Amino acid sequence: MMDIFETMKSLCRLPGVSGWEGPVREEILSRLQGKCECRVDALGNILAFKKGKTAPKNKLLFSAHMDEVGFIITYIEDSGLLRFAGVGGIDSRVVLGKAVEVGEKGLYGVIGSKAVHLQEEKERSEPGKLDKLYIDIGAESREQALEQVQPGDRAVFCADYGSLGDKLIFGRALDDRAGCALLLEMIERELPYDCHFSFTVQEETGCTGGITAGYAVAPDIAVAVETTTASDIAGVDPDKVVCSLGKGPVVSFMDKGTVYDPQLYRLALDTARDRGIPCQTKQGVFGGNESRSLQTARGGARAMAVSVPCRYLHSPAGVVSSEDITHTGELLAALAEVLADL
Amino acid sequence: MMDTARLLLEFSALTGVSGAENEAAEYAAGLLKQYGPVTVTPLGSVLCAARPAREGRPHLLLDAHIDEIGMIVTYIEDTGFLRVAPCGGIDRRLLLASRVTVHTDSGAIAGIICSTPPHLSGEEDKKNKKVEEIYIDIGYDGEAAREKVHPGDRVTINAHSRQLLGGLVSGKAIDDRAGCVALLLALGELGDTELDCGLTVQFSTMEEVGGAGAKTAAYLIKPTHAIAVDVGFGMTPDSPKEKCGELKKGPMIGFAPILSREMSAELAELCRMEEIPWQPDVMGRSTSTNADSIAVVGGGVVTGLLSIPQKYMHTPIETVAVEDVENTGKLLAAYAKSLGRGTE
């Protein structure tokens, strides 16, 4: 039986910036081999189908995205320094002073600027803009840099993966490799009903993969398996917390991209309560995910989002609770049962 | 001897935040003992008497600081989040979402500097937070956190230290382990060569918080001459040119009121003779290095300053060229060989 934490760890270590999800796709495909039917569509989504014990009344799709936020090399200076743009919602305050890996070979680079001693007070207090920063790979000329890097190459933060305290896990790209690992776990198990699964591309740049995955599968009910912002950190007012680590999977009624099916929302909360699985509501209309693409595919699908609460999304180190991962897995297994016959 | 890049990466990976330099200092003592008797001062600086001082003869002190910038735990919130103050000049622009290590009596604890998510970013969040305003998440509740962490524990920002292209090395604490490595290289280069001067090497503590380590160590050593070896500003596109040296163009020889004009000129002359590249580093006031305090120890010390050009000072991605470190070592050895020569 697979260990979901081992799966999540190996997925988080792979670079997969939007539009360049290859390494993640390869890893997931190798893990799917022999366990279900699967194919890769024109955009790079993995579409998988696994037969359950029975054919369901509703066609079910569970979806998680493979891509992560990161950087794209836009221009190489004569000096050999690399200019870049953010891919997806990168917070410019978390970029400076970080080491990155560029391209598929993982070339090491650093994002620096002038020394703190040489900055004016205003420079110290104002966050830098991404377009003023550069990646230094040590190349001394454009020619030397071009031997290693091309414009269009992606870069990710160098990041490690590990434990924080006794119950928490930190890692880059937990958004949404945590979701990918949860789907892999579902596929690993015996399913009560037939289920479709999509591992999608380009969620962070406009939920693009979800558009074609939703079209191809044409589900009656689509469940986005995601991570969502937990702001249960010091200095945040209770009404801004959104959700908290350790309180179980998060079910959404609405976010900035989707108004969710109210019956499904309540069903998720009821199912969790009935089965004794901790579960929480996303308190506030923030963020969004590929539900908006899945919901509007073809003639429309009923949409639901089940998310793992995650601190510091889109940074070099997101943080999730191992208990929440387990409980989200339990809720998804329960939903695969109750949604099928709704 | 280990290859310079590897030595520098290994040395800089060790922890030694100002006032708690033990780990790095013990490693240094291990490396130094092959070159002469090693002692440790009351403030923790590590000394190695490579050539004994002799009455009436010049006695050269070579200094590099072993401490690194970091943070110090000031308070533990009921929620388990840590509050900190800076230990040295931390660049506040790069704090958020950094991985950190809290160094406690019972071992290292992983932490992450909290970053408020974009949906919460009000006007205040658009400014870079001061070190005193950040929280560190260690994943424990208040009770567990207070059991494991104590005010006064040091915190370092984690680095992914590695070699870049073109013979560069990047990581944390390269300021001033690069200087320490240059001193070790000089000792290696000197080998058993007989010198016309006494020679003591000091790896000094607490440079980043005022220089107490170097000042007190130099008092004990009573040198006649001294060279402080530190890192200097390396050129980046956004830096003022007149305050920077360039990587791979050799050690920066300091010229400043507190520094001996003669020694600065001799260092430059040695570079010409030995074909070592060098570049000037001119400061109108103090040097903001240990040279300032060493020069005024006791009745005064003839003092010079060599700086290894370094990009991204005081970050976890401090970057130097290995060849600059090696050339600094060569120059130091050449100076030690020249001091007092032919005067006995």
Q: Which of B137, B163, B233, B252 to mutate to test the interface with A (most CBs of A within 10 A)?
A: B137
Name the nearest CA neighbour of B82 among B110, B106, B123: B110
Cα–Cα distance list, B83 to A181, A274, B21 (Å): 34, 41, 21
Contact B254, B263 (CB under 8 A): no
| A:B CB pairs within 8 Å | 198
CATH 3.40.630.10 fits A4-68+172-338, yes or no: yes
Identify the active-site residue in A27, A68, A203, A226.
Answer: A203
Nearest-by-Cβ selection for B164 from A108, A287, A313: A108
Q: How far apart are CA A70 and CA A55, in angstroms?
A: 40
Nearest-by-Cβ selection for B116 from A98, A111, A236: A236
Per domain, the residue ranges of chain A are 4-68+172-338, 70-157
Res B123 pLDDT > 80: no
What is the rounded (10 degree) CA torsion for B163, B165, B168, B171? -40
Is A3 exposed, middle or buried, given 0-12, 13-18 or 19+ CB atoms closer than 10 A? exposed
Under the banding of pLDDT at 50, 70 and 90, the label for residue B128 is confident
Mean predicted confidence (pLDDT) in B188-195: 96
Segment A94-116, tens digit of pLDDT = 999 999 999 988 999 999 998 98
Identify the active-site residue in B207, B208, B318, B326.
Answer: B207
Q: How far apart are CA B251 and CA B245, in angstroms?
A: 9
Q: What are phi and psi of B179, to 5 degrees?
A: -65, -45
User: Is A101 an annotated catalytic residue?
Assistant: no
The reply to whether B162 touches chain A by the CB within 8 Å rule is yes
Segment A256-284, tens digit of pLDDT = 999 999 999 999 999 999 999 999 999 99
Mean predicted confidence (pLDDT) in B15-30: 97
Mean predicted confidence (pLDDT) in B282-309: 96
**Chain B contacts in chain A segment 143-172 (CB below 8 A):** 144, 148, 158-160, 162-168, 170
The reply to whether A254 touches chain B by the CB within 8 Å rule is no
Work out the percent of chain B whose per-residue pLDDT is above 90: 94
Q: How far apart are CA A103 and CA A152, in angstroms?
A: 9
What is the rounded (10 degree) CA torsion for A165, A170, A176, A181? -70
Extract the runs of DSSP E, i.e. beta strands, from B41-149: 46-51, 59-65, 70-76, 82-87, 99-104, 107-113, 136-137
CA distance A166 to chain B (A): 7
Q: How far apart are CA B10 and CA B170, in angstroms?
A: 12
Residue A268: strand, helix, or coil: helix
Contacts of B160 in chain A (CB under 8 A): 99, 108, 158, 160
CA distance B234 to chain A (A): 9
Nearest-by-Cβ selection for A164 from B97, B110, B157: B110
Tell me what pLDDT residue A104 has: 82
Which fold would CATH assign to domain B4-68+172-338? Answer: Aminopeptidase (3.40.630)
Contacts of B92 in chain A (CB under 8 A): 116, 124-125
Contacts of A117 in chain B (CB under 8 A): 89, 233, 288, 313-314
Mean predicted confidence (pLDDT) in A60-77: 97
Extract the runs of DSSP E, i.e. beta strands, from B142-220: 154-157, 162-163, 168-171, 198-204
Mean predicted confidence (pLDDT) in A11-36: 97
Q: How far apart are CA B181 and CA B201, in angstroms?
A: 12
Q: How many CA atoms lie within 13 A of A134 on its CB side?
A: 20
The reply to whether B85 touches chain A by the CB within 8 Å rule is no
Contacts of A89 in chain B (CB under 8 A): 118
Contacts of B158 in chain A (CB under 8 A): 160
Tell me what pLDDT residue B118 has: 66
Q: Which of B12, B115, B156, B322 to mutate to test the interface with A (most CBs of A within 10 A)?
A: B115
Res B122 pLDDT > 80: no
Burial track A72-101 (b if 16+ CB lie within 10 A, e otherwise) = bbeebeebbbbbbebbbebbebbbbbbbbb
Q: How far apart are CA B314 and CA B252, in angstroms?
A: 18
Q: How many CB atoms lie within 10 A of CB B227?
A: 31
Kindly identify which residue of chain A lies nearest to residue B242, measuring between CA atoms: A118
Q: How far apart are CA B114 and CA A40, in angstroms?
A: 38
Residues 6 or more apart whose Cβ sits within 8 Å of residue A31: A2, A7, A184
Q: How many CB atoms lie within 10 A of CB B146?
A: 15
Q: Tokens 């801004």 — which residue? A: A240
**Chain B contacts in chain A segment 262-291 (CB below 8 A):** 284, 286-287
The tokens for B329 are 């070592």
The reply to whether A81 touches chain B by the CB within 8 Å rule is yes
Name the nearest CA neighbour of B19 among B203, B212, B176, B157: B212
- Strand B198-204 and strand B59-65: pairing? parallel
Q: Tokens 């918080």 — which residue? A: B209
Tell me what pLDDT residue A331 has: 98
Res B1 pLDDT > 60: no
Kind plus residue range of the DSSP H or E element containing B142:
helix B142-148
Contacts of A77 in chain B (CB under 8 A): 237
Res A1 pLDDT > 80: no
Res B120 pLDDT > 80: no
Residue A269: strand, helix, or coil: helix
Task: Verify whether the Cβ–Cβ distance B317 to A98 is below 8 Å.
Answer: yes
**Chain B contacts in chain A segment 6-65 (CB below 8 A):** none
Contact B20, B154 (CB under 8 A): yes
Segment A221-242, tens digit of pLDDT = 999 999 999 999 998 888 889 9
Segment B44-71, tens digit of pLDDT = 999 999 999 999 999 999 999 999 999 9
The tokens for A285 are 């209309």
The reply to whether B146 touches chain A by the CB within 8 Å rule is no
Nearest-by-Cβ selection for A233 from B137, B162, B240: B137
Task: Verify whether the Cβ–Cβ distance B117 to A111 is below 8 Å.
Answer: no
Task: Verify whether the Cβ–Cβ distance A144 to B89 is below 8 Å.
Answer: no
Nearest-by-Cβ selection for A136 from B93, B160, B319: B319
Burial track B208-220 (b if 16+ CB lie within 10 A, e otherwise) = bbebbbbbbbbee
Mean predicted confidence (pLDDT) in A281-306: 95
Q: Which of A95, A136, A313 to mutate to test the interface with B (most CBs of B within 10 A)?
A: A136
Q: How far, rounded to the nearest angstrom, does the alpha carbon of residue A283 sit from its chain's CA centroid? A: 20
SS (H, E, C) A174-203: HHHHHHHHHHHHHHHCCCCECEEEEEECCC
- Strand A302-310 and strand A318-321: pairing? unpaired
Residues 6 or more apart whose Cβ sits within 8 Å of residue A206: none
Query: Which ipTM was obtained for this model?
Result: 0.92
Domain A70-157: CATH superfamily, name plus number: Peptidase M42, domain 2 (2.40.30.40)
Cα–Cα distance list, B161 to A36, A293, A334, B13, B97 (Å): 42, 41, 45, 8, 18
Nearest-by-Cβ selection for B233 from A97, A115, A234: A115
Which fold would CATH assign to domain B70-157? Answer: Elongation Factor Tu (Ef-tu); domain 3 (2.40.30)
Tell me what pLDDT residue B116 has: 80
Q: How far, rounded to the nearest angstrom, does the alpha carbon of residue B33 sit from its chain's CA centroid? A: 20
Q: What is the DSSP letter of B245?
A: B
Tell me what pLDDT residue A92 has: 86
pTM of the model: 0.93
